[in-house]
Amino acid sequence: NHVLGLEVVLPDGSVTQLGNGLAESQELDLRGAFIGSEGTLGIATAITLRLLRAPECVNVLLADFETMEAAGEAVRAVTAAGLLPAGMEIMDNVTINAVNDFFGYDEYPRDAAAVLLIELDGQEAEVQASAERAEQLCRGAGARGLRRAEDPTECAVLWKGRKSAFSAVGKITPTYYVQDGVVPRSSLPLVLAAIERLSHEHGLPVANVFHAGDGNLHPLILYSAAEPEAEQRVKDLGAAILKECLAVGGSISGEHGVGADKRCYLDWMFEPEDLHTMGLLRRAFDPDNRANPGKVLPTPRTCGESAKRSVTLQSTVELF
């Protein structure tokens, strides 16, 4: 939403402009298509971005909960109340302790099942009122403890652990697999409970750290690559988590994209006709399949299961 215009080099070597410098336009949205294409339509060589003013006031709330479902309920309540945080992030107990050990501090309660970070920004009176309302909603969802940071340094301390969570988890496990699914925020408690159940069923621990405000989940499946067939078990669990996301009306990707890893799941979300149309769009930009070949769209050669589910995929691959 912050990209106003693009200078792009198309696969045939020609240079063109996409977007007219306006945030909204009645034109065919080729700018949006290019942004979402994961590099399959060409290469961006210049990007015009919209800048925002720095907020007058910033508060960060830290709430801790006895269950992950309660933390998810707090996110649902904040969203339903019409509050618009600049950020809402959740970390589970595994991540909390990994971060505390990583930095050698105890900013997050070690016995909490989950902590929720909520950042509110804007004019001071607005932020104060929103922070008080967010605190009430967190208590109503079952928060055990609440901490509010108003000083920029203290705010940075609370965010430091979340921003380094992946690195911290990497210190306690030799390998992990990051999944990237999206669910409606109202479904967070349900899906988080499902992830916990699937973790037990597959015998693999999962660390949950995610962008709760967007419903964008990042389950980190922890494993050792030295274990027999470990990678297949991990992928099976990752796929099962994505199916739970889709079951509540979510998506298989929020920000990390589809690429090569999840292209064989794309037909879980889209009908054959949809995939065929995506192939037509890609061919219009790149008839010789030069830009990021073999990515995003499933094909019978690379996705045997997808091919079995839909013979129409054959017409898609013929475009490439």
Q: What is the CATH number of the domain that holds 190?
A: 3.30.70.2740
Let me know whether 162 and 121 are in one domain: yes
Let me know whether 240 and 153 are in one domain: no
Helices marked H in 81-210: 93-103, 124-140, 152-163, 165-170, 188-202
**Domain membership flag for residue 281:** yes
Let me know whether 163 and 183 are in one domain: no
Q: End of a domain among 11, 27, 49? A: 49
pLDDT at 306: 63
pLDDT at 227: 87
**Domain membership flag for residue 127:** yes
- The CATH number linked to 18 is 3.30.465.10
- The CATH number linked to 145 is 3.30.70.2190
pLDDT at 23: 76
Interhelix angle for 188-202 vs 230-247, to 10°? 160
**Domain membership flag for residue 230:** yes
**Domain membership flag for residue 131:** yes
**Domain membership flag for residue 260:** no
How many CB atoms neighbour CB 213 within 10 A? 22
Let me know whether 86 and 141 are in one domain: yes
Let me know whether 207 and 143 are in one domain: no
**Domain membership flag for residue 252:** no
**Domain membership flag for residue 198:** yes
Under 8 Å between Cβ of 237 and 204 = yes
Let me know whether 74 and 163 are in one domain: yes
pLDDT at 310: 54
pLDDT at 119: 97
SS3 content of the chain, % helix, strand, coil (to 5): 40, 20, 35
Let me know whether 61 and 160 are in one domain: yes
**Domain membership flag for residue 261:** no
Distances (CA, A) of 246 to 84, 176, 191, 192, 250: 25, 23, 10, 13, 5
Let me know whether 161 and 180 are in one domain: no
Let me know whether 146 and 76 are in one domain: yes
Domain extent, residue 221, equals 174-247
pLDDT at 50: 92
Let me know whether 155 and 194 are in one domain: no
CA 320/CA 304 separation, integer angstroms: 17
pLDDT along the chain (320 residues), means of 10: 94 93 82 93 95 93 93 91 94 93 90 96 96 97 95 92 90 89 88 92 93 91 90 94 96 90 92 94 93 87 64 49
Let me know whether 19 and 65 are in one domain: no
CA 114/CA 87 separation, integer angstroms: 16
Question: Domain tally for the chain?
Answer: 4
CA 219/CA 225 separation, integer angstroms: 18
pLDDT at 316: 47
End-to-end, the C-alpha distance of the chain in Å comes to 30
Q: Give the global pTM.
A: 0.86
Nearest to 218 by CA among 249, 174, 190, 188: 188
Under 8 Å between Cβ of 90 and 116 = yes
Let me know whether 73 and 142 are in one domain: yes
